[in-house]
Amino acid sequence: MRRARALHLAAAIDGGTPFDASHVVDLARLAESGALDFVTLGLPEQGSGGPGPAGPDALDALAALARVAPATDRIGLVPAVSVPSAGTEPFEVALAVATLDWVSRGRAGWTLAVPADDPGGNGSGVRTDTDKGTRRMRGGTAAARRRAAERVAERAAERAAFRWRNAARTAAALARAWEDGGPLPGASARPVTAVDATEPAARPVAARHADLVLVRATGPEEAAAVAAEVRRLVAEAGRDPDRLLVLGELRVDLGGGELGAETGAEAAPTSDGADGVLFRGGPVDLADLVTRWHRSGAVDGFHIRPVRPLRDLERFVNGTVALLQHRGLFRSFHPGTALRDHLGLRGTPGRAEEGAAVTASDANPAVAANGAGPDRLAVTGGTAS
């Protein structure tokens, strides 16, 4: 049974020119003005950052967020680092993450950028006959089509397992780097580790290493099912499942804001055709969706990916977040300085805690959040008046 906990919100600031410092700084400051927990930055796509024998460097996103760190005060900084990364030792990645934590005074995290699924088998190391399989799915008898579909799904699972086996090795190597403490003063705790746990193959990695998992789901039930599965694996790995945060990941298009608010219909996210989930609607619709999902206990919050970075992040912060703050569901400032403060992940493992966000309602065990949860949610100090 899950209690509704403090709401956590984060945003991706990808989408601009990879190394345009003012672009990433502006977006990060905008997110900070909304008191979001953290921003993430992915690796630039191949081609946008210059082609080369090894694609984007493992530390490209980290470099950009290091540039952002002194230009911001409170917001968490979570770069994607690629794994496995050609030519970069896990220790180098670990030291760079630790250094980002040091220059930002405890605001760093990192997330695994695992290469996207590549059905052609190019780069994944697993040759497949997907195209043939896909053709078989279109013709022949129903049974043949079903068998072909099963085969395609099996191949995809094999490829995912292969990609995440490599990711698991790097994640383990990074975790080992902190076993005897951090390298630099003032940053003793291990930087926050985030893992996208949507793919089943990712969940064992998340269970062992993640402080925070991202889930791409079109509904709260689906998200809750993934969260439950990951928490079960976390407990099996000997960690405290209550200290794992689960954020829904949505691509967000707030371009139709003015219309959406008046219909009264619930705007629901849909699969975006690729691997993501797309929400299209207005800032108010999104605030309602955030409230519904969070209140149900399915997720601890959301990580949004603005479809158009500047427009959608601005509408998210000044529309959705402002409304959530007004409703007392989201803090209006950062009470702590470190990312672990924002996430309520400081302190002794084993004790479910909300850090600075504990309130009377949160401490009340009657505030259950399964099904028809009560309206009272954990509220951070100093909510909007």
Q: Which stretch binds other proteins (CB under 8 A): 17-25, 235-243, 280-288, 334-342?
A: 17-25
H helical segments located in the chain: 21-33, 60-68, 90-103, 130-138, 142-177, 203-209, 220-236, 257-263, 283-295, 309-315, 322-326, 339-343, 360-363
Count of residues engaged in binding other proteins, rule: CB under 8 A: 65
Closest distance to other proteins from the beta carbon of 62 (Å):
7
Closer by beta carbon to other proteins, 116 or else 352: 116
Closer by beta carbon to other proteins, 114 or else 299: 114
Closer by beta carbon to other proteins, 182 or else 255: 182
Closest distance to other proteins from the beta carbon of 60 (Å):
6
What's the rounded Cα separation, in Å, for the pair 236 and 246?
17
Bridge-partner residues for 280, per DSSP? 253
Q: Which stretch binds other proteins (CB under 8 A): 43-51, 223-231, 287-295, 319-327?
A: 43-51
Cβ partners under 8 Å of residue 187, min gap 6: 98, 101, 102, 105, 106, 108
By the rule CB under 8 A, 273 interacts with other proteins? no
Closest distance to other proteins from the beta carbon of 342 (Å):
20
- Name which position in 9, 39, 66, 201 contacts other proteins (CB under 8 A): 66
Closer by beta carbon to other proteins, 188 or else 364: 188
CA dist 31 to 46, 110, 326, Å? Answer: 26, 18, 17
Nearest to 305 by CA among 277, 325, 328: 277
By the rule CB under 8 A, 337 interacts with other proteins? no
By the rule CB under 8 A, 105 interacts with other proteins? yes
By the rule CB under 8 A, 256 interacts with other proteins? no
Q: Which stretch binds other proteins (CB under 8 A): 116-124, 226-234, 251-259, 306-314?
A: 116-124
Q: What is the DSSP letter of 373?
A: -
Angle at 298 between CA 110 and CA 349, to 5 degrees: 50
What's the rounded Cα separation, in Å, for the pair 89 and 69?
24
Question: Tokens for 67?
Answer: 């540039």
- Name which position in 9, 36, 41, 68 contacts other proteins (CB under 8 A): 68
Identify whether 220 is preceded by a cis peptide bond (ω within 30 of 0).
no
By the rule CB under 8 A, 189 interacts with other proteins? no
By the rule CB under 8 A, 36 interacts with other proteins? no
Q: Which residues of 239-276 are buried (b: 16+ CB within 10 A; e: fewer)?
A: bebbbbbbbbbbbbbbbebeebbeeeeebebeebeeee
Cβ partners under 8 Å of residue 274, min gap 6: none
By the rule CB under 8 A, 309 interacts with other proteins? no
Angle at 130 between CA 124 and CA 131, to 5 degrees: 125
Site string for other proteins, 145-184 (x = CB under 8 A): ----------------------------x--xxxxxxxxx
Amino acid 318 reads N
By the rule CB under 8 A, 322 interacts with other proteins? no
Amino acid 210 reads A
Closest distance to other proteins from the beta carbon of 49 (Å):
7
By the rule CB under 8 A, 27 interacts with other proteins? no
Closer by beta carbon to other proteins, 85 or else 170: 85
Closer by beta carbon to other proteins, 60 or else 288: 60
By the criterion CB under 8 A, which residues form the site for other proteins?
19-21, 25, 42-43, 45-47, 49-60, 62-64, 66-71, 85-89, 91-92, 94-96, 98-100, 102-105, 113, 115-116, 118, 122-123, 173, 176-186
